[in-house]
Copies of this chain bind each other. A is one copy, B any other.
Amino acid sequence: MIKKPLILVTNDDGIFAPGIYALWEAMKSIGEVFIVAPDTEKSAVGHAITISDPIRVQKIKRKNGFEGFAVNGTPADCVKIAVGALMDQKPDIVISGINSGANVGTSLMYSGTVSAATEGTILNIPSVAISLDSLTTLDYRFATKVAATIVNSVMQNGLPKGTLLNVNVPAVTESLIKGYKITRQGELHYLEGFDRREDPRGRVYYWMTGQIIEPVGNADTDSHALSKNWISVTPVHYRLTNDEFVEVLKTWDLP
């Protein structure tokens, strides 16, 4: 008999978000769940950590026995402090989500959801980020089934050191879902605009706006699969050296 896994659940939408509640519900049938999440929404925080300010931790209860810790920090902080201070033992898996909105293409760089999973991999814990491709739906039911399937698969198969799974679920009725597709990070990105305004005192400020640019890409990218109603599963790593270019750089005439 296999021991029930210890599952660390976190997110970037905050501990009061519907997505983390749905994820908790799915995970508690698989293992022992420990929840540590930001006290407020922390989207687009990238892989930030809090080094100059004190970090506060507060016990939170929601309905039906949902209990966890709220942290006044980033998703990466949550994973660090969970493993470093709050948990008695290292979790068997970290799962971050269920995020409201897809995390594909270039937006992986900005994603708090993914950064929590990244922090898990840095701490040598198998880690998963999961997002639902809708900013409006509150129906996480199918995505929770996906979360359970993925976590069971990861517990069974393991992940290579330094690699997490980034999972994105289409927000359509289950009958329209085509299945799982192993994908690559695509080149979808945002073309930012800045909306310039003046406040009542005449001081200038800007709002960042954005327009999605979807390059005509290969069928194996995350965003393409998602748009065709596949559940995309991308293995993400952080070996950031451009190895091919190392040899070119050596030919540069540096003193």
A binding-site residues for B, Cβ under 8 Å: 41, 43-52, 54-57, 74, 76-77, 80-81, 84-85, 106, 108-110, 115, 118, 122, 149-150, 153, 157, 159-160, 163, 165, 179-180, 182, 184-185, 189, 192-194, 196-197, 203-208, 210, 233-243, 245-246, 249-250, 252-255
Contacts and interface: CB of A to CB of B under 8 A. Distances in A.
A149 B254 contact: yes
Q: Is the interface of A mostly helix, strand, loop or mixed?
A: mixed
Contact of A46 (B48, B179, B234, B242): B48
Given A47-B47, A56-B205, 6 more contacts: A45-B48, A56-B204, A56-B206, A84-B193, A109-B122, A109-B238
Nearest to A165: B249
A8 B38 CA distance: 34
A76 B192 CA distance: 12
A53 to B, nearest CB: 9
Given A46-B49, A246-B184, A80 B203 contact: no
